[in-house]
Amino acid sequence: MKRVWNEKKEILSREEAEKIRLRRLRKQLKYCYARSEFYKRKFDGVGFQPEDIRTWEDYRKIPPLMDKEEERQSQRESIERFGHPFGMHLCCPLEKIVVAKTTGGTTGLPTFSYSFTQHDFDRWNEGIARGYWLSGLRPGDRVLFCFPLSGGWAGSIVKSPLQYMGILCLDIGAETPIEKIVEYANVTRPNVLMSTPSFAEALIEAYPKLTGKPVAELGIRKLLLSGEPGVAIPSIRKRMEENFDGRWNDYLMINSEGFCSSCTAKEYQGLHEVALDLSIWSDDLIDPDTRKPIEVKNGAIGEGLITSLDREGLPLIKYKLGDVIQVFTKSCGCKYPGPGNRIKHIGRLNDRLFVEGVGVFPIAVRDVVTSFIPRVTGAMRIILTEPAPNVFPPLKVKVEHGPGVEPGQLPELAKEIEERMLQLYRVRSKVEFVPPEALGRVTKKTPLFEERYR
Ligand SMILES: [Zn+2]
């Protein structure tokens, strides 16, 4: 049995990997400069020529060059000038694009980041396949694929690597009524579930009601859940694994790059980068506020900049994603032999709240709340009485208490949660309880906020 999906590309020493990377980086930069007016303008704007990049340190000094809003602007310009939506950063002839997928698109112009030439599509399948393998998928598996069809990033593009690996994809949209999904799963007998954590939770609750049997009867033993935080929260992970009698792994796809996946280590270790030859993410870390480089060492927290390697159509260069991550350079216990870092997702910069000037991510708040399961159900909302990010203290949190918790026990429980928030994040909070399931269950993305000022 193979140890990894691609033994030749993944099992390298760090030195070998860096050599390949630097060579590919220089080639990619020259290519972008020569092929795209957008990148020429950008590089000239910060005063560097691709030839100037001789070492990794040279590259790190260059500031971010692009973000989501600029990507949209670049697209608007190409629509206006050339009648295509891919953006001025398109580096190949238009007719070479054979896959065009958008992300989300609920607000503003959708971005066409998931648009590929044949070469880029093969590269995508290859990078994602490495992550799928690491999270335990094998040829012959049967995947119940249950994302909201309209849900942006998780669109059909994450299915193609399954076929590429020889895996059956049983595709049913998460909008389908849950009874239909259960019926479909009962006849197709998948052994893997790919969905959001919210959907998996909905299935845990619905399956016994519909069939009279525990959800473990379904035979799903591998959980690849993504699109929301959750796997890093031990209590949520435990509940999932116990109910399905399986293992949960997550994987994260960042704007068509950032190939990585969690591993089979007992304790959650974050996501291993599996394709150092295809893109740069955690090694190009900046302070999100000052935009200055942060030294990449074990435990460092910052915003990772994305740079594509070996991408032909729409390469991203120094792309500022808006995600704060924590990077681990020490190896974990799983014996994955690749030289990449591990990454924990801390939160979206846009979601960061400031309580009396102290920054806190909603995920951190959820982390505190869920550590009180089973005295709470784990469902919660942060109540915003004024537009984010500045919150007038205390931070108000609505929490579902657990079934069987007596009203008389609630004040003490609230106090404990509030104290833990203060201890861990130096944030003053106020907990308000509602009964179990009062916040409802959704099969799409669970909201973190309740915006009362609207
Ligand atoms: Zn590992």
Q: What pLDDT digit, counting tens, does each position of 119-144 carry?
A: 999 999 999 999 999 989 999 999 99
Predicted pLDDT of residue 156:
72
Q: How far is the CA of 158 from the centre of ligand 1 (A)?
A: 22
| Ligand 1 centroid to residue 333 C-alpha, Å | 6
Residues 190, 219: Cα–Cα separation, whole Å: 7
CA of 242 to the centre of ligand 1 (A): 21
Helix (H) or strand (E) holding 26: helix 14-35
The yes-or-no verdict on residue 177 having pLDDT over 80 is: yes
More confidently predicted of 415 and 378? 415
- Among candidate residues 249, 192, 187, the one with its CA nearest the CA of residue 219: 192
Q: At what angle do helices 37-45 and 14-35 cross, to 10 degrees?
A: 110
Considering the chain, what is the average pLDDT of its residues?
89
CA of 248 to the centre of ligand 1 (A): 13
Neighbouring CB atoms inside 10 A of 163's CB total 11
CA-wise closest residue to 132 among 100, 102, 159: 159
Q: What is the mean pLDDT of residues 369-380?
A: 89
Least-confidence region, from 38-42, 157-161, 224-228, 250-254: 250-254
CA distances (Å), 243 to each of 145, 188, 203, 246, 398, in order? 19, 20, 10, 8, 26
pLDDT average, residue stretch 254-278: 85
pLDDT of residue 443 exceeding 60 = no
Ligand 1 centre distance from Cα of residue 273 (Å):
10
Asked if residue 175 has pLDDT above 70, the reply is: yes
331 CA → ligand 1 middle, Å: 7
- Residue 293 CB partners (closer than 8 Å, separation 6+): 60, 61, 284, 285, 286, 287
Burial 411-432 (b: 16+ CB within 10 A, else e): eebbeebbebbeeebebebebe
pLDDT higher than threshold 70 for residue 229: no
Burial of residue 375, with CB atoms counted within 10 A of its CB: 0-12 exposed, 13-18 middle, 19 or more buried: middle
The stretch 210-220 carries a mean pLDDT of 94
For the segment 28-74, what is each residue's pLDDT rounded down to a tens digit? 999 999 999 999 999 999 998 999 999 999 999 999 999 988 999 99
pLDDT at 406 > cutoff 70: yes
CA of 335 to the centre of ligand 1 (A): 6
Q: What is the CA(280)–ligand 1 centre distance, in A?
A: 19
Q: How large is the average pLDDT for residues 413-424?
A: 94
Task: Report how far ligand 1's centroid is from the alpha carbon of 149 (Å).
Answer: 31
CA 247–ligand 1 middle distance (angstroms): 14
Distance 424 CA to ligand 1 centre (A): 26
**Which is it for strands 429-434 and 395-401: parallel, antiparallel or unpaired?**
parallel
Kindly give the distance from the C-alpha atom of residue 135 to the centroid of ligand 1, in angstroms, as a whole number: 10
Tell me the CA–centroid distance for residue 208 and ligand 1, in Å: 34
Residue of 94, 105, 168 lying closest to 137 (CA atoms): 168
Q: How far is the CA of 268 from the centre of ligand 1 (A)?
A: 8
Start-to-end C-alpha separation, the chain: 56
Mean pLDDT across 397-418: 94
pLDDT at 237 over 80: no
Measured between alpha carbons, how far is residue 191 from residues 205, 213, 216, 407 in Å?
19, 17, 11, 41
Determine the Cα–Cα distance for residues 414 and 368; give it in Å rounded to an integer: 12
pLDDT: is 400 or 452 the higher one? 400
Return the minimum-mean-pLDDT range out of 45-49, 323-327, 386-390, 418-422. 386-390
The predicted structure's pLDDT at residue 233: 61
Q: How far is the CA of 181 from the centre of ligand 1 (A)?
A: 33
pLDDT of 154: 45
Ligand 1 center to residue 345 CA distance, Å?
Answer: 15
Q: Which residue has the higher pLDDT, 110 or 401?
A: 401
Distance CA 240, CA 43 (A): 47
Question: In which band, very low, low, confident or very high, does the pLDDT at 162 lie, cut at 50, 70 and 90?
Answer: very high
At residue 25, the pLDDT reads 98
pLDDT band for position 362 (50/70/90)?
Answer: confident
Cα 342 to middle of ligand 1, angstroms: 8
Among the residue ranges 4-8, 166-170, 223-227, 381-385, the one predicted with the least confidence is 223-227
155 pLDDT more than 80: no
Tokens of 56: 């990794």
Band (151; pLDDT cuts 50, 70, 90):
very low
Q: If you measure from the C-alpha of residue 304 to the centroid of ligand 1, how many angstroms do you get, rounded to a whole number? A: 20
How much of the chain, in percent, has pLDDT values that exceed 90? 62
Distance from Cα 134 to the centre of ligand 1, integer Å: 9
Q: Strands 271-273, 429-434: parallel, antiparallel or unpaired by DSSP?
A: unpaired
Sign of CA dihedral 36, 40, 42, 48: positive
Ligand 1: centre distance to CA 32 (Å): 34
pLDDT at 317 over 50: yes
Q: Residues near 156 by Cβ (< 8 Å), separated by ≥ 6?
A: 101
**Ligand 1 center to residue 336 CA distance, Å?**
6
What's the 329 CA to ligand 1 centre distance in angstroms?
A: 11
